[in-house]
Amino acid sequence: MKFFIDTANLEQIREAHKLGVLDGVTTNPSLMAKENIRGEEACRRHYIDICRIVEGDVSAEVIATDFEGMVREGEELAALDPHIVVKIPCTAEGIRAVTYFSAKGIRTNCTLVFSVGQALLAAKAGATYVSPFVGRLDDISEDGVALVAHIVRVYRTYGFRTQVLAASIRHTHHIIQCMDAGADVVTCPLNAIMGLLKHPLTDSGLKQFLADHARVNQG
């Protein structure tokens, strides 16, 4: 299972990268805006900065919503670095663009996926990744993890090679649930990644080990 960080914040990407377990990064226009990255040129420079930190895939999202615009933007993004994956919304124009990029060997992440039907079209179009949004479904009382499991089941039944990238992860338990559901990738905020390390027995056990060591080695 691959582990991506879901942020455009360079410090957080560096911190996760230092753990040695990071396989990639996902961004979206909201995450870029949060870092106050303005204008096309600044966005491109920021994606290049991210690619210099991680060795894995970096999803960069198109802003255009029409096929021609997505193709133009996506080609520019893909040319920035071999690790860039063009992130495209799961609309009719988006599926056309995924098909186009797939034929050209440019990798894509089909995003804003909320149903198994959307995931089916993304896979048939040849998307490298499909991104079901777990937290946003949970927010409206649907079951985001169940959608991940459903997509994994359908893809395995038909042998689709598109990787299921569980997105919109809100907390540590989502990560574990998506692993259980068979997701190929989970993209998470830094606090959810760090949350995986937290256990009171680890803290109390370490405290006891250090206290015992100090007692015997003092004086």
Give yes or no for residue 167 binding ligand E4P (CB under 6 A): yes
CB 205 within 8 A of CB 197: no
| Contact characters 91-110, ligand E4P, x per CB under 6 A | --------------------
Q: Does 28 bind ligand E4P (CB under 6 A)?
A: yes
Active site residue 104: no
Amino acid symbol at 130: V
Which helix (H) or strand (E) covers residue 14, if one does?
Answer: helix 10-18
> How far apart are CB 25 and ligand E4P at their closest, in Å?
10
- Using the rule CB under 6 A, is 163 a contact of ligand E4P? no
Residue 82: CB atoms within 10 Å: 9
The DSSP annotation for 88-140 comes to: EESSHHHHHHHHHHHHHT--EEEEEE-SHHHHHHHHHHT-SEEEEBHHHHHHT
Binding map of ligand E4P across residues 40-79, x = CB under 6 A, - = no contact: ----------------------------------------
Stretch near ligand E4P under the rule CB under 6 A, chosen from 14-22, 128-136, 176-184, 203-211: 128-136
d(CA 99, CA 125): 5
Site string for ligand E4P, 142-161 (x = CB under 6 A): --------------------
Answer whether 186's CB lies under 8 Å from 169's CB.
yes
Active site positions, annotated: 87
Chain positions contacting ligand E4P, by CB under 6 A = 6, 26, 28, 111, 131, 133, 135-136, 167-168, 187
